[in-house]
């Protein structure tokens, strides 16, 4: 049984569940993957905690995520996925304290991009918190990929798309997105990572093409791979 720590935000968690469902070749209910989705929407904002540099706020958030992971472990889950890129800063702090593995969205994405984009420029579109922690920069560097961080002006537009639109329950703003895309392509980027789960929602709403890599979709595939190897999910493909 897969455990999912979600609610960060709820729309992205619902999309992740749909990804799991749609990628499973199930002919009936019983051939789908058993899972528990823990939608912890009230957990404090990850970016705010990171940017505050307040050790007490950071530790409190870390402890909440650890409690969620242990809850899922005790409920019988055998792996955990976290549907928030920024929260992986805290996953890195707690993964050694949990007996079951995390299917780590950032590492899986970097590995998935390694062969095609080694030595190439790839844009990281993320929250200020994810950029600050260098989660993607460090993992992509290990794979030989050149991570490009947006300018301050473009980063403001990305945060507006995340917080002003998707997290506020509004549809993605296409005009804002076109400005973002024009900028990153002008920087010579050959791909972009949608390194915030709200941007996964943008991808679906605006029907973004193959230029964009969606870490949440990669994590969904790895979750299914994890259980396939153990014979617990019907073989796909």
Catalytic residue among 77, 89, 189, 196: 196
Q: Which helix (H) or strand (E) holds 105?
A: helix 105-117
| 2: β partners | 35, 79
* CA torsion through residues 152, 11, 83, 174, sign: negative
From 77, 84, 89, 189, active-site residue = 84
Residue 90 in 3-state DSSP? helix
Residue 92 CB neighbours (<10 A): 16
Which residue, 46, 15, 27, is CA-closest to 220?
15
The torsion defined by the Cα of 28, 29, 32 and 35, in degrees rounded to 10, comes to 180
Active site residue 189: no
Residue pair 51/71 in contact (Cβ under 8 Å)? The answer is no
Judged by DSSP in three states, 44 sits in: coil
> Can 89 be counted among the known catalytic residues?
no
- Where in the sequence numbering do the catalytic residues fall? 84, 196
């Amino acid at each position: 049984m897969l455990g999912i720590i979600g609610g960060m935000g709820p729309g992205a968690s619902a999309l992740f569940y749909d990804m799991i469902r749609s990628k499973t070749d199930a002919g009936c209910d019983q051939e789908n993957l058993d899972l528990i989705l823990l939608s912890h929407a009230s957990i404090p904002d990850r970016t705010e905690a990171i940017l505050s540099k307040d050790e007490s706020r950071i530790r409190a958030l870390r402890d909440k995520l650890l409690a969620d992971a242990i809850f899922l472990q005790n409920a019988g889950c055998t792996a955990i996925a976290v549907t928030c890129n920024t929260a992986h800063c805290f996953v890195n702090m707690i993964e050694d304290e949990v007996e079951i593995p995390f299917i780590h969205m950032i590492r899986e994405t970097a590995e998935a991009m390694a062969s095609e984009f080694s030595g190439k420029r790839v844009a990281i579109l993320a929250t200020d918190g994810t950029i600050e922690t260098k989660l993607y920069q460090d993992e992509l560097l290990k794979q030989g990929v050149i991570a490009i961080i947006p300018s301050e002006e473009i980063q403001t537009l990305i945060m507006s798309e995340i917080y002003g639109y998707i997290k506020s329950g509004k549809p993605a703003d296409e005009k804002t997105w076109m400005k973002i895309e024009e900028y990153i392509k002008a920087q010579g980027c050959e791909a972009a990572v949608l390194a915030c789960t709200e941007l996964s929602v943008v991808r679906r709403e605006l029907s973004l093409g193959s230029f964009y890599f969606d870490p949440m979709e990669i994590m969904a595939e790895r979750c299914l791979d994890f259980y396939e190897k153990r014979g617990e999910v019907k073989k796909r493909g």
